[in-house]
Amino acid sequence: MVEVTRASDASSISFPRVVETLIEAGVERYHADLVRAEKTYYLPNGESTLVRTEHVAAPAALAFSAAGVEAAVRASQAGQIDYPEFCRRALAAGCIAYLVSLTGRRVLYYGRTGETHVEHFPGAR
């Protein structure tokens, strides 16, 4: 989990590889807090691991923009931006954190007042 976090911060691993590696490690889901700069990984037995991430020097917008989050996701998927830039764009769109459900094959992005945007993994529905 620590290695995946570091590789993600350094943009040396793709999101599909992150997912594959975490599933192999038995991770069920993880929460990425963009404001606190930390990820919490959860195992099915209730255990969790907190890992500090690289701080993104960008404030979270007050208003949540689902379209802005979706645009950041699409740019990342297309390989146009790296992970730190994805985080900057997500924060600019008012996303303060996201929850990745590996078993549910989706990501829930959310803002300060609970607004959400859900992205299903490519090919999942």
The confidence band for 5, taking pLDDT boundaries of 50, 70 and 90, is very high
72 Cβ contact list (under 8 Å, min separation 6): 81, 86, 89, 90, 93
Q: Where are the domains of the chain?
A: 2-120
Residue 16, pLDDT > 90, answer no
Secondary structure of residue 116 in the 3-state scheme: strand
pTM, whole model, 2 decimals?
Answer: 0.93
pLDDT in the model for residue 84: 94
Of the candidates 85, 5, 88, which has an alpha carbon nearest to the alpha carbon of residue 40? 5
Is the model's pLDDT at 73 over the cut of 80? yes
> Where does 2-120 sit in CATH, by number?
3.30.1810.10
Least confident of 40-44, 54-58, 74-78, 115-119: 54-58
Is residue 125 over pLDDT 80?
Answer: no
pLDDT average, residue stretch 71-97:
95
3-state class of 108 per DSSP?
A: strand
